[in-house]
Amino acid sequence: MPVDTLSQCAQRLTPLILLVYMVFICVEMAADHFLKTKAYNFDDTLHNLIMFFVNRMTGGLGGAFMFSMLSLTAHFAPWKLHGPFAWIVTFLVVDMLFYIQHRCFHTDTIFAPFHEVHHSSQNYNLTTTLRASVFLPWLNPLFYFSAALIGCDPLAIIISFSLIQVYQFFLHTEFVPSLGLLEGIINTPSAHRVHHGHEQAQYESNLGGVLLLWDRIFKSYMAEPEHLLYGIKGVAVESNFFVAQLKPFVSFAARRLKQNQTEFHQ
């Protein structure tokens, strides 16, 4: 499928997805107000929405870049996967690569600053999903080109990745309790709440996209404790959009410089 056709499909679906997002956010905000659960904070919510709209303005370019890189990689694939089975395989592969990408984001490497802003809020609600780095879309192809290299169709990869992103939106809520037998099998709001906990063990757990199979295999699954605090321990919440976006990179560089100086003097 050409990039312009993919772009047309995205233009048709995006307004509907945004409408669904806004309806659910409004319902959750109303429930929060009447039940006085204090899941929402005005400044935090406004900050999340600003990040989202800035990301939407540049997201089309990021998506086109990812599709172009995947299409280029697909030319080197020794075979092509076809048929309904190929879509299932592609989704499973992309979900596994999402886990790998997510795990990289939660290690002390150059990948971490691209994701830190998403976890910096001390509130947890549906707008938390919208809190993301503007630089992240340009990094995505690095983690998903291998799917195209083994024969997955670039369009199927993009669709699978997009479905995982939409699914993740509904995980960011405190209003859905534990889902019982589904816990530890698929990602749930309960499992994802743990992932947003401020303790390091919580922060590095439940990294799957839709399936928590990968967390089970790689020993990163954690059940929800009775009490949780959100955010990143030792990282202050930034209300300025530009500071919030750039500070993780500055902090990472400063931390690495300090480590190098310590090692040099030793």
Task: Report pLDDT for 236.
Answer: 84
- pLDDT average, residue stretch 182-186: 95
Task: Report pLDDT for 239.
Answer: 81
Q: In total, how many domains does the chain have? A: 1
pLDDT in tens, 15-50: 888 899 999 999 999 999 999 999 999 999 999 999
Longest dimension (CA), the chain: 60
pLDDT in tens, 67-108: 999 999 999 999 999 888 999 999 999 999 999 999 999 998
Rounded CA separation 206/192 (Å) = 6
pLDDT band at 64 (very low <50, low <70, confident <90, very high): confident
Task: Report pLDDT for 7.
Answer: 57
Task: Report pLDDT for 263.
Answer: 63
Look up the pTM and report it.
Answer: 0.92
DSSP code string of the chain: --HHHHHHHHHHHHHHHHHHHHHHHHHHHHHHHHHT-----HHHHHHHHHHHHHHHHHHHHHHHHHHHHHHHHHTT-SS---SHHHHHHHHHHHHHHHHHHHHHHTSSSTTTHHHHHHH--S--SGGGGG---TTGGGTTHHHHHHHHHTT--HHHHHHHHHHHHHHHHTTS-SSS---GGGBTTB--HHHHHHHTBSSHHHHTS---SSB-HHHHHTT------S---BS-TT-PPP-SHHHHHHHHHHHHHHHHHHHHHHHHH-
pLDDT band at 6 (very low <50, low <70, confident <90, very high): low
Task: Report pLDDT for 111.
Answer: 95
- pLDDT average, residue stretch 204-221: 97
Number of other CB atoms surrounding residue 36 within 10 Å? 7
- pLDDT average, residue stretch 191-205: 96
The boundaries of the domain holding residue 222 are 3-265
From 247, 209, 210, select the one nearest 114 (Cα to Cα).
247
